[in-house]
Structure 1
């Protein structure tokens, strides 16, 4: 009987530890999203000069601090995770430092300061390091979770065996043990569902359900390797919604979020099954197009995407007038590496904004 109680106690303990790891993995996702939101606010301000975007930056900064405080408390007994978290704290400080300096340069030097591009590139480098650290911590937490699951299975087996042996002697104890085991099984299944959801959230945008920035990096890496070995071409389309901020300002974030969901569905209706669509953050989307032969196919695709907004988008019964500015970069025409292609597509998208919005531009020859 003592052996059974010990196994049951350990089962509850490992279940609680696994729950803690699930919460930590969820907070890792939330941390990445908070930093991305802050970055969107910074980029919005640099693009438009509107100080309202600074509120988004500060909100992202506040959410980042809150998540870091939670993770700090949760990882007090996990030295292997603590090391990575301390590194992330340093990188987050650097990231916001770079964003703050960029804002100051914008305020004092104007839109065309040569320092902006340098700070932007530095910010992306720091963000890449943050993403790598987040991935590393998530991998460590996943391994911890797998270890806890293994221990839970062992304790479950021990509990069932103990319950069976004890049930031979005392029917009443058998019934009690059966009830406890059933509850524990339900808890295990529930935890598995939470873990599955957390794993999905780590790679997908919580609002639109589209792949997120992390998934874009993985997909582009795979697409690049395939293209390099098969000598095929692929293209990256950066898409930024025109007029989205005005929708948020006029109707609130609830309508803005509903609009993003509607836009994501509209995009998917005109894309092929092989096209990869993701939400980069804020009102930015990334489209990776493979298996095409001529640039005209990209031109036609861009025109179809722009045509989606030729009429107001009905959202919650409200006709919303928005557009989309698109920047296109082709491999290997505009770059030999993914990072270079992303930069070209991003710049081409800004060229579309400067040329009047709701249009597309290819990267510089």
Structure 2
């Protein structure tokens, strides 16, 4: 596709970022919902002309009754688990430092050390608590369900606790099912500047504003869909149009949800990080060629790859599972005429289990060989330097 060409679905007046069509939020929003916003038209107005893209990572379920969209940021919980050993060491170490400072309080140095230790302990706790909770006790997702039969939006939302410097973080407690009337929803696309220390870039989010039906004032705002720091502006408009068409025109007006297979076992998650899997992937052309060429030497990173897979598995196991309770058998119940959809991707994934296990065992073998080679090298070096 040439640079001057656009996909068919990127047509219509709302998919472009326009300064003249990007007013500040009214009333002004606080925190992460600040920035420049493009307010999309009402629920009866089409924002994209023509076909819609298939939003594979965000649409979890589509059936005759509801459309489920992912919410929350728990897909990245594995990163916190990867860093959790640092948090695990931080707090005990600072407490030990505090104890040492108390024992040496009789000296001037001890007083200074005590002040530093107290500040360090407070900072360690401030940083550790959100990380530990989000790592080990948060829900796997906080999804949204748009129901055509009731004309309502249902949001599975964990209770929140305010924590300075963070967005409100989840806290222990019973989740809340928040319910909104579809007619009171307004879509907005937020554009923010994000820096990573070296570069800066614009990122876009889809957020929904809940309006007071009498005054039109905004009662609440919340982000929906992909919350990663990436994604073009037009994708956020496409997500809204997918939701709008489902609610206003019906399930046939939007693409089907992509069948996704579920990883459950530790071997499944190690397989996801296994470069040998590239040997049998169905990609074509140069991508497949380079994937096969690089897959063999990439196995030398076996210790890191196995650790990442382990963190993903821990994140899956420790995440609290979403349960809609009695809503699943009342509000979200499919009509008797509905035909259950067979997940072909899951069937194929399970049929491929023997191959995946073989490749994982090869990766584990590489890891064991590297550990043995490391100790052999250490003993050899010790004999050369010390003589025994």
TM-score in terms of structure 1 length: 0.28
Structure richer in strand, relative to its length? 2
Which structure has more relative contact order (CA 8 Å, sep 6+)? It is 2
TM-score in terms of structure 2 length: 0.27
